[in-house]
Each structure stands twice: as C-alpha cells, then as structure tokens.
Structure 1
Amino acid sequence: MAYSTLPTIPLIVFAVIEPALFLLVIDLHITNCLCSRVWAWIVCNQDPFNYYATQVPNHTLNEQDHFPGQALALSLQMGNVLLLLAAMAVICCFSSSPSTAKWYLVAVAFADYGHIYGAARGVGPDVFWDPSQWNDMVWGGVAGSAILNLFRWLTVLGVFGPIGGNAALQTKSGKKHA
C-alpha cells in the first residue's frame, strides 16, 4: 500500500495531476476546437523542433535555418527532465517522511520562480505582460507554474492540513507508519 504524509487534496494535485502535466503537452486549437494531448517526452523525441519553436508564441522559425544541434540537444534533454520531474514528484509526494514531502515542495516552489523567469526572458516583456499574446506553452510555463506555486506554499503552511497528519498513515495496530 502506498503511503503519503501529504493531506489528500495536495496529494492528488502534486502526486497525480502535476506529474501528468509534466508528461502531457496540451495543444489547444481554439479556432477548430481540436484538443490533443501527447506525452511531452514523445513530442521532444518525435518533433523536437516543434517543441523548441513553440516556446515563444508567433514564431517564424523553420527547422533548416533555426534549429542547430545545440537546440536539438537542449530540446531532447528538456523532455528527459520533464520525465524525471514526474517521477520525483510521485516518489517525494508518496514518501512516508514528512520532511521529504515538505522540502520537496519548498524546493519546487523556488524552482517555479526560475521557470517563470525563464519564460519571461524568452518571450520578452511585451508578450509576458500581455496574456492575449500567450500560446499554450506560455500559459503552462507562467500561469500554471504560478498557480502550482501558490498551492505548494499553502500546503507547506498547513492550509490543507498538516504535512505528516494524514490518517492514511495509520497501520492496523494504530501506530503511525514510519
């Protein structure tokens, strides 16, 4: 049986939904109402140029002129990092150690700021401060990170219940799982 020290709602968000978001690239085409989801690491491996080019909205890049080996390597490595982060989220959130879960959330909360900063630098201030210009990659990188960041800090602060106070950690004998 899997144990976690996180309260139920944060456990669902950080150990189920967020890892799935690491693995999913959501491509919403509002004009034709097509919504497709594909595994991010597959996208990075099957179409690394598209993954690279869509980091900034309204790009006019073409693969032959704007996708050197360095960009290919970074795109493929980023896909691997997303897969690693999904695994780490599950491992740390299902840990029976309250300090592991707490410090994982704190570390990732600080990493969220770097993620938002990277997106801001990449798109520039005109696009960053005008959400009407954002594509799905910017929405996920900025708004998604900001929402998850707020949720992380609320969890660490105990708003959803104390980390380590999950009743699911009780064994049949009534003792806490270590």
Structure 2
Amino acid sequence: MASRLPAFPRFVFTVFEPISLVAGSVAAIFSPEWFISQQIDQAGHHVPSADSNILVAQQLGNCYFLAFLVALAVLYTTTELAVVRNYLKALWIADITHVGLTFYALGYERSVAIAEWNATTWGNIGITVFLCLTRTAYLLGFFGPNGPPAALRKKLQ
C-alpha cells in the first residue's frame, strides 16, 4: 500500500511518475509525429528518422513487456480480489482505447476488412477485442462467483 512508503518515494511513485506517464501518453497519442521526431536528437529537425521509428517500436515492445510483468505481479501475488478487479478494469479501458486508436489509424474500410488483416492487425483488433469481451463478461459476473484462493482449494480437497 503506497501510504506506507516513506515520503519521498511515495511522492515520486504516486504523484511524479503518474503525471509523467500521462504526459508521455498524451504527447504520443495526440502528436505522434512530434513525439517520434523527439526520440533521437536531430539538431532541431522535426522530421522522424528511421532510428527514431526503430526506437519508438522498441519502446512499444518494452511497454508490452512491462504489461506482462505487471500482469504477473498483480495476478500471481495479490490475494485481494479488489486489486485484480481494478487491474482488469484498467485493462478494459486500455483495450477500448487500443482498438479505437487502431480503427482511427487504419480507417473504417481497412479496419473491417478482416480477410486482409495481418498478424499485427489481428493482435491490435482481434485479440484485443477478445480480451475486452472476456474482461467485460467477467466484470459483469457472467462466469459466476469467484472461488476461494487456490491454496484454500487445495486444503479443502
């Protein structure tokens, strides 16, 4: 629980870092050309270079890896159902914005041309919609009530 952290790390992790993450995401989403061009210093030029494009792709890959690590940390360490539900709600919101941004970038015609999707488009739309629908069904209770923790299930058997 963040309130138990010492003052300085609590400020950094609960105020400074969230603000910097929002600022970075806003810049990348609403001004992608500028964001890409700023990744590698190009002596005042605001034209994305091949190196900048590669760096942005690698940073995206790092974000996917971070999401993997957060999933492991949340889903395999907490016993608090509220933490898991809030994590799934955050992912649900991210699923919707991910698909929305992909639709926006591809345009309607390419977004609905499922037969022409490549593996990346299947990941960006198909798999993300599947995950979002599964999260929606879980959060609405369609899979029934949550069971006891795995350790308790083993004791009960």
Taking structure 2 as the reference length, the TM-score comes to 0.61
Q: 1:142 aligns with which of 114, 125, 131?
A: 125
2:102–2:125 Cα contact (<8 Å) kept? yes
Aligned alpha-carbon RMSD (Å): 2.2
Query: Who is 2:110 aligned against?
Result: 127
What does residue range 5-154 of structure 1 map to in structure 2 within 5 Å?
68-94=50-76, 95-154=78-137
Change in Cα spacing, 1:166 to 1:158, as seen in structure 2 (3 Å) is farther
Report the Cα distance in structure 2 between the residues aligned to 1:162 and 1:143, rounded to whole angstroms: 27
Counterparts of 1:81 and 1:168, CA distance in 2: 30
Q: Which residue of 1 aligns with 2:41?
A: none
Measured in 2, the distance between the counterparts of 1:119 and 1:172 equals 43
Structure with greater Cα Rg: 2
Cα shift at 1:173: 7.8
Percent identity, please. Answer: 25
Q: 1:99 to 1:169 in 2, by over 3 A?
A: farther
Moved over 6 A (4+): 171-174
- Asked if the contact 2:79–2:149 (Cα under 8 Å) also holds between the matched residues in 1, the reply is no
Residue 98 of structure 1, CA deviation: 0.5
Q: Give the partner amino acid of 1:119.
A: T
Q: Which runs of 5+ in 2 are unaligned?
A: 1-47
CA deviation vs aligned residue, 1:107-128 (integer Å, no higher than 9, x gap): 1011001110121122222210
The offset of 1:167, in angstroms, is 4.5
Deviations 1:78-101 (A, max 9, x none): 010010001111221222110110
1:51 aligned residue: none
Instruction: Say which structure is richer in strand.
Output: 1
Query: Secondary structure of the residue that 2:87 maps to in structure 1?
Result: helix
> Cα–Cα, structure 1 residues 121 and 67, in superposed 2: closer, same or farther, change >3 Å?
farther
Name which structure has the greater RCO, CA cutoff 8 Å, separation 6+.
1
8 Å contact from structure 2 (residues 74, 87) kept in 1: yes
Q: Which structure has more helix as a fraction of its residues?
A: 2
> Unmatched 5+ residue regions in structure 1?
1-65
Distance 1:172 1:108, change over 3 A: closer
Output the CA distance in 1 between the equivalents of 2:85 and 2:154: 26
Count of matched residue pairs: 108
CA–CA separation in structure 1 for the residues paired with 2:90 and 2:109: 29
